[in-house]
Amino acid sequence: MFLRGVQQTKKNMVSQKVMKTFLIFLAIECLILFIGCSSKVAKTTEKGLFHVELSARGQLLKDGRNEVAVYVTDDKGMNVEGAKIEITPWMPEHGHGSMWPPTVTEQGKGLYRAVIPLTMIGHWELKIKIRKGDIEDNTIFDFSNVMK
């Protein structure tokens, strides 16, 4: 009887170790998936006055509503605050933009939040104009295959 109790205790300990190992593995996998599911692209504007980085959780752009973080720095790497940022989605092959204009809200320290509605799948460009005081510059991000 005593021997059975010891054997059962050992089995329980092994089961607990296996379960702990599995849970740790699962947690690491979830973390990798979460981190790996964000995307970003960056460019310098045409005149070299600003550096623009776009990022989002998951796919950067898709058909429908897109929430995108827009991070803007100047040519010295300093955060650009108080800028006016205009984003124009454009489908070059179709010669039209989106039915609804994007909104851009300043979050502080060079970070802006954009909500960009896209009305169909396909090739899209995001034309971005940044104006800070009397300084203005532009860039275009190209997304050749926006899907659902």
Residue 54 CB partners (closer than 8 Å, separation 6+): 40, 41, 42, 60, 68, 69, 70, 126, 141
pTM of the complete model: 0.74
Mean model confidence pLDDT for the chain: 86
SS3 assignment for the chain: CHHHHHHHHHHHHHHHHHHHHHHHHHHHHHHHHHHHCEEEEEEECCCCCEEEEEEEECCCCECEEEEEEEEEEECCCCECCCCEEEEEEEECCCCEECCCCCEEEEEECCEEEEEEEECCCEEEEEEEEEEECCEEEEEEEEEEEEEC
Residues recorded for the chain: 148
Dihedral, CA of residue 53, residue 59, residue 64 and residue 66, to nearest 10 = -30
Q: Any idea where the domains of the chain sit in the sequence?
A: 1-36, 39-146
Q: Could you tell me which CATH class the domain 39-146 is placed in?
A: mainly beta
Written as six digits, the tokens of 34 are: 């979460």
pLDDT digits (tens, 9 = 90+) for 111-146: 999 999 999 999 999 999 999 999 999 999 999 999
- Cα diameter, the chain: 88
CA 34 – CA 108 distance, rounded (Å): 25
Low-confidence ranges of the chain (pLDDT < 50): 22, 25-28, 30-36
